[in-house]
Amino acid sequence: MKRTISTGVILLTGLLLTSGCSEWISKRAMDRGLVALRQGDYATATKQLEKASKHIKEADAPTLYYNLGVAQYNLAAYEPAMKAFLAALALAPTDRETLVYIGNIHLKRQEWAEAAHRFEQAAAGRPPDAKLLSALAQAANGAGHTVAARLYLIQALRAEENYAPAYYDLGCLYDDVFALPSEALDQYKIFAIKADPKDPRVAKANASALRLQQVVSRMTMQLPAGVKQRNTGSALKLVEDGDRQRAAHQMAKAEKDYREALAQDPLCHDAAYNLAMIDQSRGAMAESLKFLQAAVRIEPVRQTSLLACAQTALTLKDYRTASGVLDRLIARWPALSQPYASMAVVQQALGHPADARLYAEHYVRLAPPSPDRERYESWSKTLPQ
């Protein structure tokens, strides 16, 4: 008896064969695309991965769309790359690298809020990451939130001390926004040491460092008009004698010694600083601030003088002076917690409550447990974001 095969069975067999062939072609195209991507041949990778996408298996789809997005991103084809990454994200909503690429495309478009949102999603639930924190800084800076940008970069370097791009971006902020030429110079120099020599920003950093070196040299405190030389030896002896008089509670004699030391050497930091402390001991805070400002001008990177100057200005409610000194303290000693607490108070007083919150929150991150820390944490939660 002859067996016949129905037309329906023939058609079904043809469809199965065609389906299997399509999947094989798609798999081969995907493999070729991934090889091209690893080799940096982004045009071929894009072509092959687009071909593969026509008959891709559901299980392979997130990988395919992500890698297609990477290839297109490297070709600066940001619109199709965004579509590919969004397709990948729909299938794998928590994939960190996909979120980062989407955030980077938003940065390219200067869509700062959207970029920040994607970077925050990528960072959620994970330990601090220098690259992500630097990306958040770029988004914040683009939106004009320079305090947030600064603190993100400080956090980035706390997470990874050798992450070179954060030094460059901090240098730019201190140079362009915070008017801290000496501190910007330091950041550019560190970046040039730590960065890949092929990084195009190295040449920019070196050029900026050369310019800032000249600026800093001009800022070096000079002798007052009419004073031809410094008598540093005599000044040192007078300061030592003044210190002995202070220890013996002979304040009038100590003050006389310190004033004479300044007359012998107008650039004697210790004489100016000690006169400030004597003024503080008798409650003459305005006079104390003048001597502290002189001490800071003489030695701009002495931590003790800067801290005392900032605190005295804060006591006098001279918030502009306090802000400038605290900026320098934070730039030079970013791991020191107290300046952030003081800066939070300053920003609140200057009418910048959102910035006050950022500084208070960073103080809470750094400070050891204490009543002050608890107080700042509670206060920060009452301030607007």
Q: pLDDT at position 68, please? A: 95
pLDDT(9) > 50:
no
Q: What is the pLDDT of residues 286-321, one digit of tens each?
A: 999 999 999 999 999 999 999 999 999 999 999 999
Q: pLDDT at position 22, please? A: 63
Which residues, at least 6 apart from 258, have a Cβ–Cβ distance to it below 8 Å? 238, 239, 242, 271, 274, 275, 278
**How many DSSP H helices and E strands does the chain contain?**
20, 0
Q: pLDDT at position 56, please? A: 76
Q: pLDDT at position 7, please? A: 40
pLDDT(11) > 50:
no
Instruction: Name the architecture of domain 229-321.
Output: Alpha Horseshoe (1.25)
Cα–Cα distance list, 293 to 37, 82, 224, 343 (Å): 59, 53, 16, 18
Q: What is the pLDDT of residues 140-161, one digit of tens each?
A: 999 999 999 999 999 999 999 9
Q: pLDDT at position 24, please? A: 61
CB 55 within 8 A of CB 22: yes
Q: Would you call 365 exposed, middle or buried from its count of C-beta atoms within 10 A (0-12, 13-18, 19+)?
A: middle
Query: Average pLDDT, stretch 171-187?
Result: 97
Q: pLDDT at position 163, please? A: 98
Single pTM value for the model? 0.89
Place of tokens 């891709």: 56
Q: What is the pLDDT of residues 54-99, one digit of tens each?
A: 877 777 888 999 999 999 999 999 999 999 999 999 999 999 999 9
pLDDT(6) > 50:
no
Which residues, at least 6 apart from 204, have a Cβ–Cβ distance to it below 8 Å? none
Q: pLDDT at position 53, please? A: 83
Residue ranges per structural domain of the chain: 162-218, 229-321, 334-385
Choice among 16-25, 79-88, 266-275 with the minimum mean pLDDT: 16-25
Q: Would you call 139 exposed, middle or buried from its count of C-beta atoms within 10 A (0-12, 13-18, 19+)?
A: buried
pLDDT(133) > 60:
yes
Q: pLDDT at position 58, please? A: 78
pLDDT(177) > 50:
yes
Which residues, at least 6 apart from 84, have a Cβ–Cβ distance to it below 8 Å? 65, 66, 68, 69, 72
* Structure token pair of residue 325: 């000194």
Average pLDDT, the chain: 91
Which residues, at least 6 apart from 1, have a Cβ–Cβ distance to it below 8 Å? none
CB 85 within 8 A of CB 105: yes
Q: pLDDT at position 15, please? A: 39
Q: pLDDT at position 12, please? A: 36
Q: pLDDT at position 14, please? A: 42
Q: pLDDT at position 13, please? A: 38
Which residues, at least 6 apart from 285, have a Cβ–Cβ distance to it below 8 Å? 279, 312, 315, 316
How does DSSP assign 22-81, residue by residue?
Answer: HHHHHHHHHHHHHHHHHTT-HHHHHHHHHHHGGG--GGGHHHHHHHHHHHHHHTT-HHHH
Q: pLDDT at position 219, please? A: 84
pLDDT(201) > 80:
yes
- Residues 156, 134: Cα–Cα separation, whole Å: 6
Query: Average pLDDT, stretch 201-210?
Result: 97
